[in-house]
Amino acid sequence: MDNSNTVDIGKILFSRCLEAGHWPDKIQFTKYLYLLDYCHWRFHGRQATAINWKFFHYGPWSQDASIAMNGVQDHFRVGWRDFREDDEREFYGFDRINEKLSIGMEGMIQSILKAFKDRDVSKVIDFCYERTEPMLAAERGDELDFSTVPVNKEMPAFIDKPATMEMPKATEAGASRRAAYQAKAERLKAKARKWREAMESPAYKEAMDVIAKQKTADLPKIEGKSAFMSKEAIEELRGLKDG
């Protein structure tokens, strides 16, 4: 293993973790190194580090990675967060690594951290164990074969997109009913338009005037005269006027 190059990559990776407010434990950081190699292979057909990964217990591990991580802590000296208990320690300042990797590798690191830094460590373990080809193709204790990884120039989907709910497809009977309702609505609207047009026509207005004059013509002329009418007669006259 080219230890110096791998340690340099590990130091930059650890610095990016701390810059993001994320203090990883050993398991998390080991898996981050593995995923960096995995993503790098998908774009370039080779690992970013010289680590010889193995299927160890429930995830990728290597003595090479342990050696590189010791080199990382020789620089930072903040240790690793203890994943076995609620570790409330905080780090107060660190020597940030200003040196940058390639734009592609820096992007890979940010994608990995965005996907896993705020999630339980089991999520990154599960992804490495269940969703990466070298682990899926190996038996416990085997060296991992990265040639099983497709070189497709794409980042893996670390987090599954939520399933979208499809609208139920219309049945033939339902479509027929909707068509009948729409046709009936159109007939009613057409009928209403005809009624409005008829009521606004001169012939309709003339007919209404004739009816009104006919009703008033039947009333007795009592202008200038005194008349005494019974209650029943008054009600009848009102009925003629309002009718």
> What is the average pLDDT score of the chain?
84
Query: Which is more confident, 16 or 88?
Result: 16
**pLDDT tens for each residue of 187-224:** 877 877 777 777 777 776 776 777 666 655 555 555 55
Per residue, what are the HEC states of the chain? CCHHHHHHHHHHHHHHHHHCCCCCCHHHHHHHHHHHHHHHHHHHCCCCCCCCCEEECCEEECHHHHHHHHHHHHHHCCCCCCCCCCCCCCCCCCCCCCCCCCHHHHHHHHHHHHHHCCCCHHHHHHHHHHHCHHHHCCCCCCECCHHHCCCCCCCCCCCCCCCCCCCCCCCHHHHHHHHHHHHHHHHHHHHHHHHHHHHCCHHHHHHHHHHHHHHHHCCCCCCCCCCCCCHHHHHHHHHHHHC
**pLDDT tens for each residue of 71-126:** 999 999 888 988 666 666 666 678 899 999 999 999 999 999 999 999 999 999 99
pTM (global) more than 0.75: no
What is the reported pLDDT for 214?
Answer: 67
**pLDDT tens for each residue of 131-150:** 999 999 999 999 999 999 99
Q: What is the average pLDDT across 167-176?
A: 67
pLDDT band at 161 (very low <50, low <70, confident <90, very high): confident
